[in-house]
A and B are shown apart, each in its own frame.
Chain A
């Protein structure tokens, strides 16, 4: 599975959009981009995933570049409860293989 690169930490003001980048330059054609987050001392929570089109759900939007080598997770109106470690993971969907977690991005939403 392709490796991902994320900044170790980011801050965001409450109410503003949080844009979390992820590089996955070695992604292959059948690999999806998944985003999970982990609030302290809890299990990871699914946010969104996509293949090549931009995706949006009630939690976030996922923007994938045309060459699919990078993506951005957007939390449109960050709240204090969005403070968490965000993980970008690339995986061949449908394979039932494990999710491999990198170090993620610690997002801190500031009041």
Chain B
């Protein structure tokens, strides 16, 4: 139980284009989802917290107009990287809480490469 599906697993895009990453909770309702970013040889850094039906809360230094998060349903959150640049190349990971906040499940991650 408590499975989170993240797609795509890998994406290569041209500089200046936008990329959407989806995160779905398959067997539970995810009121809260988190988006992380991980650069090579570094730990996961929280980008934003999204609650279903409300605006996401972004961490300091994360541009909300560049990383658009939508959490319109209890099973789907999306992260759109707008006007992507090579420095946005990273590993993006979503996570969702379940069991009233006692459990945390992660997606398999999306490797974004901007060329």
- Taking a contact as CB atoms under 8 Å apart, the answer to whether A98 and B105 are in contact is no
Residues of the A chain whose Cβ atoms lie less than 8 Å from the Cβ of B93 = 43-44
Per a CB cutoff under 8 Å, which of A36, A38, A94, A99 touches B102?
Answer: A94
Residues of the B chain whose Cβ atoms lie less than 8 Å from the Cβ of A101 = 36, 43-45
- Taking a contact as CB atoms under 8 Å apart, the answer to whether A100 and B46 are in contact is yes
Per-residue CB proximity of A96-111 to B under 8 Å, as 1/0? 1111111110000000
Residue tally, chain B, CB below 8 Å to A:
26
Chain A: which residue is nearest B36 at the CB level? Answer: A101
- Taking a contact as CB atoms under 8 Å apart, the answer to whether B108 and A43 are in contact is yes
- Taking a contact as CB atoms under 8 Å apart, the answer to whether B106 and A44 are in contact is yes
Residues of the A chain whose Cβ atoms lie less than 8 Å from the Cβ of B106 = 36, 43-45
Interface contact tally, CB-CB below 8 A:
52
Per-residue CB proximity of B26-38 to A under 8 Å, as 1/0? 0000011010100
Report the separation of the CA atoms of residues A41 and B38 in the bound assembly, to the nearest whole angstrom.
10
Q: Is the interface of B mostly helix, strand, loop or mixed?
A: strand
- Taking a contact as CB atoms under 8 Å apart, the answer to whether A44 and B44 are in contact is yes
Q: Is A57 an interface residue (CB 8 A)?
A: no
Of residues 9 through 68 on chain B, the ones whose CB sits less than 8 Å from some CB of chain A are: 31-32, 34, 36, 43-46, 49
Measured between C-beta atoms, what is the minimum distance from B114 to chain A in Å?
A: 18
Per-residue CB proximity of B95-107 to A under 8 Å, as 1/0? 1010011111111
Give me the interface of B with A, judged by CB distance under 8 Å. 4, 6, 31-32, 34, 36, 43-46, 49, 91, 93, 95, 97, 100-109, 111
The 3 nearest A-B residue pairs measured at CB:
A96-B101, A43-B106, A101-B44
Given contacts A41-B91, A96-B32, 7 further A-B contacts (CB under 8 A): A43-B6, A43-B109, A87-B43, A96-B97, A96-B101, A97-B101, A104-B43
22 A-B pairs whose Cβ atoms sit less than 8 Å apart in the complex: A41-B91, A41-B111, A42-B108, A42-B109, A43-B106, A43-B107, A43-B108, A43-B109, A44-B44, A44-B95, A45-B106, A46-B103, A46-B105, A87-B43, A94-B100, A94-B102, A96-B31, A96-B97, A99-B104, A100-B46, A101-B43, A102-B43
